[in-house]
């Protein structure tokens, strides 16, 4: 049962690790490391489904993993937009989820095959 969520769990663990690191680096005024980790978090947020497919070892689960990653990326990117707008409501809260949906849509319709052009 949990094996079908293996890549999603790995993604969540990495995301959590980077999230904690970005808080630690911000609290300790390590700006370069903070910016590096914030960039990694941004990429992970925008490409959640694609990263989960890359972490998945079973080809028959690619579609489900990608779909779940795409759905999960929307609230993650909403939080990302909130963070990029200095912890307040702004247009970023709308833009980031729309961008991630566009990215996932473009990957899904890629003509490279049933691996969504990722493997």
Please name the helix (run of DSSP H) or strand (run of DSSP E) that holds residue 113, with its range, or none.
Answer: none
Backbone angles phi, psi at 25, to 5 degrees: -65, -35
Q: What is the mean pLDDT of the chain?
A: 89
* Closest C-alpha to 77, from 56, 60, 94, 62: 94
Q: Does the pLDDT of residue 30 top 70, yes or no? A: yes
What is the pLDDT, as a whole number, of residue 1? 63
What is the pLDDT, as a whole number, of residue 109? 81
Q: How far is CA 4 from CA 11, 17, 61, in A?
A: 13, 22, 7
């Amino acid at each position: 049962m949990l094996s079908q969520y293996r890549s999603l769990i790995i993604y969540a663990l990495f995301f959590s690790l980077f999230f904690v690191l970005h808080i630690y680096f911000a609290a300790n005024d390590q700006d370069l490391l903070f910016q590096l980790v914030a960039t990694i978090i941004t990429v992970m947020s925008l490409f959640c489904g694609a990263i989960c497919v890359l972490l998945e070892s079973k080809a028959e689960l690619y579609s489900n993993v990608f779909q779940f990653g795409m759905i999960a990326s929307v609230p993650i990117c909403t939080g990302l937009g909130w963070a990029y707008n200095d912890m307040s409501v702004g247009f970023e809260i709308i833009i980031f989820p729309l961008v991630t949906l566009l990215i996932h849509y473009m990957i899904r319709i890629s003509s490279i095959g049933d691996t969504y052009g990722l493997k």
